[in-house]
């Protein structure tokens, strides 16, 4: 839209009206172009406001702050309290996006007071919802729910369908954080059609991404992928580079979980430069960590270490204690794999107290199990047993069935090494059905091999042969590198049985 030069007041008014419509339709590039053209006529609070909105929505928070803070004194000078409140609210939103919760709260609190004072019910509800988001970010989910549930009826009362959809999506996010995935889905499912109805493409993309997260958490990776791949083109369409990077990273996580490491790597390496471009340092650390995990899984520990050691200082810089602990644990895992148990222990020992501090029970259990494995490898079986038995109840508490099975198998191995074969057999037979349930065929093969060796030591050669035959069958199915050695073990036990029968 060209801005006429002869009637600047009219041109500015028309520009503001058009910008308002385009913001509602997520046409942020058009909003930015129109606002810049309007500003050629001179300083204009509305143009600065909408330019702030457009730059914020397209992942340029520092620029957005500059535009909003230029708009604010103009609004105050002309006594436009409603616009002042809207700008304060949006400055709060930028600080929220930057992770500066206290600054965000301070600006939202100023906005809320003015919005109530001028009777702006729609704005009041929006700011209440935003304050809810801050408390959610601070981990105070009950406070978050309290603000969201104040906002929702106001939004319905004034017919603010876009605001209603955003708040429904936010409530879904709280329930997701509380671990109630079904409730989260219910709220996201209410939000999504409203976002489509009002043309909120940016909100639609965010909600599709969030639904994908829920399905991934429920273990339904194909459904997760379906939602992420709906979200991605919309984020590109609206120019939400930060959101695009989040979804690319999430798609990588799905492929990682499906065992398709090359596809995972392809998506992570698309996400990484975008996260750097938009200044998402926390997200950059997450993706670096994820790439490290893929490299480790592909058998390149040095490359993995390079990515993890890039991630670690960023997690500390942004204060992501949970991410720091996960990275320390990952570095410990690389050193363990490289045969440096003392370095592994040093990193695990740094990770463990942080995981306890942030309440990451799943991470705590994994690290306890890993420390147990180091001591096991060093031949200190009592220390290994102590760590494994600390890990096991936590694995059960958090519902990590795969981890539970691994730890049961590990405890069985320690008992076997201590000469208590019956106790070892008990732990192995607890691990086996769980491994089958979760589809861990590599773990199932290892546990069946361990059971076979106990039967062999006890002289139950028929049972040992039966288990080893199942191990070899599994090895063939998954193309396991131990196929040759396991086949040799099977033939050796068959030979022993033949000798035994010959003597009988």
Say what the pLDDT of residue 11 is. 58
pLDDT class for 1, splitting at 50, 70, 90?
very low
Tell me: the pLDDT tens digits for 162-185? 999 999 999 999 999 888 999 999
Say what the pLDDT of residue 139 is.
83
| 120 φ, ψ (degrees, to nearest 5) | -85, 85
Q: Single out the residue of 267, 323, 256 nearest to residue 293, CA to CA.
A: 256
pTM check: above 0.85: no
Helices of type H across 399-440: 401-417, 421-438
Pick 13 or 444 by higher pLDDT.
Answer: 444
pLDDT in tens, 23-66: 666 677 777 677 677 667 667 777 887 777 788 888 788 888 88
Q: What is the mean pLDDT of residues 404-433?
A: 96
DSSP state of 2: P
Q: What is the mean pLDDT of residues 389-401?
A: 94
Query: pLDDT of 442-463, one tens digit each?
Result: 999 999 999 999 999 999 999 9
Q: Which domains, from first to last, does the chain contain?
A: 280-359 (1.25.40.10), 440-504 (1.20.58)
Cβ–Cβ < 8 Å for 135, 141: yes
Q: Does residue 257 surpass a pLDDT of 50?
A: yes
With beta carbons less than 8 A apart as the criterion, state whether 4 and 35 touch: no
pLDDT at position 369 over 80: yes
Q: How far is CA 399 from CA 361, 362, 402, 479, 491, in A?
A: 10, 9, 9, 29, 39
Question: Scanning the structure block, which residue is given the tokens 């033949």?
Answer: 498
pLDDT in tens, 103-112: 999 999 999 9
Cα–Cα dist 139/239, whole Å: 29
Angle at which helices 161-177 and 201-217 cross, to 10°: 20
DSSP string, 361-420: HHHHHHHHHHHHHHHHHTT-HHHHHHHHHHHHHHHHHHT-HHHHHHHHHHHHHHHHHTT-
Query: Which tens digits make up the pLDDT trace of 104-145?
Result: 999 999 999 999 999 999 999 999 999 999 998 888 999 999
The pLDDT, as a whole number, for residue 135 is 93
**Average pLDDT of the chain, as a whole number:** 91
Residues with Cβ within 8 Å of 214's Cβ and at least 6 positions away in sequence, in order, are: 176, 181, 184, 185, 188
| Rounded-to-integer distance, Cα 212 and Cα 250, Å | 8
Q: What percent of the chain has pLDDT over 70?
A: 93
206 and 169 Cβ atoms separated by less than 8 Å: yes
Query: CA 375: distance to chain centroid?
Result: 31
Contact yes or no for 391/369 (Cβ under 8 A)? yes
Strand, coil or helix: what is 99?
Answer: coil
Picking from 10-19, 147-156, 295-304, which range would have the lowest pLDDT averaged per residue? 10-19
Q: Angle CA(490)–CA(495)–CA(497) in degrees, nearest 5?
A: 95
Look at residue 82 and tell me whether its pLDDT is greater than 80. yes
Torsion from C-alpha of 115, 120, 123, 125, nearest 10 degrees: 100
Position 12 pLDDT exceeds 90: no
């Amino acid at each position: 839209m060209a801005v006429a030069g002869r009637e600047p007041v009219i041109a500015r008014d028309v520009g503001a009206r058009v910008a308002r419509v385009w913001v509602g339709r997520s046409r942020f590039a058009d909003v930015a172009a129109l606002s810049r053209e309007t500003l050629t006529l001179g300083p204009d609070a509305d143009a600065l406001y909408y330019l702030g909105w457009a730059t914020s929505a397209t992942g340029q928070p520092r620029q957005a702050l500059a535009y909003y803070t230029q708009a604010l004194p103009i609004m105050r000078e002309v006594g436009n309290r409603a616009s002042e409140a809207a700008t304060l609210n949006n400055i709060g939103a930028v600080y929220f996006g930057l992770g500066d919760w206290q600054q965000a709260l301070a600006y939202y609190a100023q906005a809320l007071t003015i919005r109530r004072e001028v009777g702006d019910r729609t704005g009041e509800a929006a700011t209440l919802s935003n304050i809810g988001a801050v408390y959610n970010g601070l981990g105070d989910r009950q406070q978050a729910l309290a603000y969201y549930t104040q906002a929702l009826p106001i939004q319905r009362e004034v017919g603010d369908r876009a605001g209603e959809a955003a708040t429904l999506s936010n409530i879904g996010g709280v329930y997701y954080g509380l671990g109630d995935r079904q409730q989260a889905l219910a709220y996201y499912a209410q939000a999504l059609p409203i976002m489509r109805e009002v043309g909120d493409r940016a909100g639609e993309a965010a909600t599709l991404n969030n639904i994908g997260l829920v399905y991934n958490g429920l273990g339904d990776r194909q459904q997760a992928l379906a939602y992420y791949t709906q979200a991605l083109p919309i984020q590109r369409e609206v120019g939400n580079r930060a959101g695009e990077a989040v979804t690319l990273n999430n798609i990588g996580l799905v492929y990682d979980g499906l065992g398709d490491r090359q596809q995972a790597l392809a998506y992570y390496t698309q996400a990484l430069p975008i996260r750097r471009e938009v200044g998402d340092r926390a997200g950059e650390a997450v993706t670096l960590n994820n790439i490290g995990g893929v490299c480790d899984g592909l058998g390149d520990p040095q490359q993995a270490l390079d990515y993890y050691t890039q991630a670690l200082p960023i997690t500390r810089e942004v204060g992501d204690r949970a991410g720091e602990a996960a990275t320390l644990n990952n570095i410990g895992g690389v050193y363990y794999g490289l045969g440096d148990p003392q370095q592994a222990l040093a990193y695990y020992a740094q990770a463990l107290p942080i995981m306890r501090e942030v309440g990451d029970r799943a991470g705590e259990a994994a690290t306890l199990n890993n420390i147990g494995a180091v001591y096991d490898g060093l031949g200190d079986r009592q220390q290994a047993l102590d760590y494994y038995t600390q890990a096991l109840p936590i694995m059960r508490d958090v519902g990590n069935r795969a981890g539970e099975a691994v730890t049961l198998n590990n405890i069985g191995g320690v008992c076997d090494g201590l000469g208590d074969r019956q106790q070892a057999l008990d732990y192995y037979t607890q691990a086996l059905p769980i491994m089958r349930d979760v589809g861990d065929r590599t773990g199932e093969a290892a546990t069946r091999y361990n059971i076979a060796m106990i039967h062999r030591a006890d002289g139950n050669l028929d049972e040992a042969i039966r288990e080893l035959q199942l191990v070899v069958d599994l090895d063939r199915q998954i193309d396991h590198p131990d196929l040759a050695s396991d086949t040799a073990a099977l033939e050796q036990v068959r030979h022993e049985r033949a000798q035994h029968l010959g003597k009988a």
